[in-house]
Chains A and B, each alone.
Chain A
Amino acid sequence: MPGNVTEEVLDVIAATQRMPREKLTLDGRFEELGMDSMDAVNILFALEDKFNITIPDEAAKQIRNIREMVEGVQKLVDAKDAEPLPSAPEQAAQ
């Protein structure tokens, strides 16, 4: 996976959580980082805003760690790039 999405996702999480960037690793689990479900919702919002994607609720519920979050975002970004019209990402992750 291209490194830039990974880095950008980590940046978004650090900024949203007011957390030092170096505390975040790809295998970090949200609960270990002291995040609850509303923190996750805030991060998802920031990611949607940053990448101009729509993250479906069902897909969001499956995410348990940062790696899965990066992979999910990458998939939606790829789908968006492949499909220039702004309506496809919802279906893409079903």
Chain B
Amino acid sequence: MAYRVAITGIGVICAIGNTREEFASGLREGRCGIGGITLADVSGLRFHNGAEVKGYVPEQHFEPRQLDVIDRFAQFAAVAAREAVSDSGIVWTDELRERCAIVTGSCVGGQTSEDQGFWDVYRLGKTRVHPMTIPRTMANAGASYISMDLALPGPAWTVSTACSSSNHAIGQAFHMVRAGDADVALAGGSEATFSFGILKAWEAMRVVSGETCRPFSKDRTGMVLGEGGAILMLEPLERAVARGAKIYAEIVGAGMSADANHITQPSVQGPVRAMRMALRDAGANVDEVEYINAHGTGTEANDATETAAIREVFGGHADRLAVSSTKSMHGHTLGAAGAIEAAATALALRDGFLPPTVNYRVADPRCDLDVVPNVGREAKIACAISNSFAFGGLNAVLLLRRLA
């Protein structure tokens, strides 16, 4: 028995909105959340801009004692999960709690806490680090705090596949609910990347822009790091309809692949395989897809490769679909990217509105798709995909449909 899987709740916190509806209006307005980094001292860095969450006061969400043990990345996971659950209006029973899966994605986990500990011992010559450095740092802390916070004692784990992490997480949760292995699932991911040591490591890779993120624009200068989290509530469509839940979209397919090629250089064929697998998983034809929320990092390597992959999968239909990169607004949130962009894709289906690729200036013949430049548009779409490709060549793609 395969269940159809509905998204019945969404929680988001990121640079263009601290709640789902703020995020939705940011996408609609094409608001760019990129600005000067304030969370770390960037005076010794070649880049100074990032997409930080704004106006976030941890004490408004957590007790001071909790904050001693929860890194910012895990806070974002818990904040987004609370919003997704309350949005879904789900009524918990003891049995349902036990049958709820939690799958989160994170790339660097609590590295900010680890960085602080390293700073203390290596730089400041302290003889001890904060005793909660290990539990703050572990990448599964997001899943752990969601389970503790919401009293959900079912299966819970974390996937770490760099920038594809939360698409893999959502894909696994989707397959679990579809197969009946879980009655409901909270899936997504979170990331908080702004600490000096991590930023230095990104600087050394020479892929981060010194100004802003301009995906698919010929004058693009690289990616811009972002932070945040997003969690989706997934449940069987039939049950969601029976309890009168609102339904954002249905997840109908998930595809995954490895480039099996190079540790950082993207390939065309890896993303092609992942998109084709998602289409097959959904039983969808290429000409049904009307919108792609692109991986669209704004790097030299990604944008042309992704365009070529989309052209290979969709053929002539590639010229009839819209492709935008919302990273131009909320930055590249690494392990949270898939979840934030799946939320953006679900909202595009709900609202009948395609979010733009902002900061776009110059057409690039190697990125010659309709990238919805700078201004979003009304479009009552029925089927969309969300791409995530990662360093390490690990790709994950989700296929969503609006409920007819």
CB distance from B272 to the nearest CB of A (A): 20
Which A residues touch B38, using CB under 8 A? Answer: none
- Report if B301 contacts A (CB, 8 A): yes
Which A residues touch B264, using CB under 8 A? Answer: 38
Whether B204 contacts A41 by the Cβ 8 Å rule is yes
Pick from B46, B262, B301: contact of A57, CB under 8 Å: B46
Whether B206 contacts A36 by the Cβ 8 Å rule is no
Which A residues touch B204, using CB under 8 A? Answer: 41, 45
Q: Which of B205-260 contact A (CB under 8 A)?
A: 205-206, 210, 222
- Bound-state CA distance A58–B301 (Å) is 16
Size of B's binding interface in residues, CB under 8 A: 12
Whether A37 contacts B265 by the Cβ 8 Å rule is yes
Instruction: Return the chain B residue nearest A54 by Cβ.
Output: B46
Which B residues touch A38, using CB under 8 A? Answer: 262-265
Do A36 and B265 form a contact, CB below 8 Å, given A56-B46, A57-B46, A57-B210?
Answer: yes
Size of A's binding interface in residues, CB under 8 A: 12
**Secondary structure of the A contact surface, majority rule:** helix
Pick from A36, A44, A45: contact of B262, CB under 8 Å: A36
Instruction: Return the chain B residue nearest A36 by Cβ.
Output: B265
- Bound-state CA distance A44–B207 (Å) is 13
CB distance from A89 to the nearest CB of B (A): 11
CB distance from B206 to the nearest CB of A (A): 5
- Bound-state CA distance A38–B222 (Å) is 15
Which A residues touch B301, using CB under 8 A? Answer: 37
Which 5 residue pairs of A and B lie closest in terms of their CB atoms, listed nearest first?
Answer: A38-B264, A57-B206, A41-B206, A36-B265, A45-B204
- Give A contacts to B, CB under 8 Å: 36-38, 41, 44-45, 54, 56-58, 60, 90
23 contacts across the A-B interface (CB closer than 8 A)? A36-B262, A36-B265, A37-B265, A37-B300, A37-B301, A38-B262, A38-B263, A38-B264, A38-B265, A41-B204, A41-B205, A41-B206, A44-B206, A45-B204, A54-B46, A56-B46, A57-B46, A57-B206, A57-B210, A57-B222, A58-B210, A60-B206, A90-B46
- Give B contacts to A, CB under 8 Å: 46, 204-206, 210, 222, 262-265, 300-301
Q: What would 8 more interface pairs be, CB under 8 Å, given A37-B265, A41-B206, A57-B210?
A: A36-B265, A37-B300, A38-B263, A41-B204, A45-B204, A54-B46, A58-B210, A90-B46
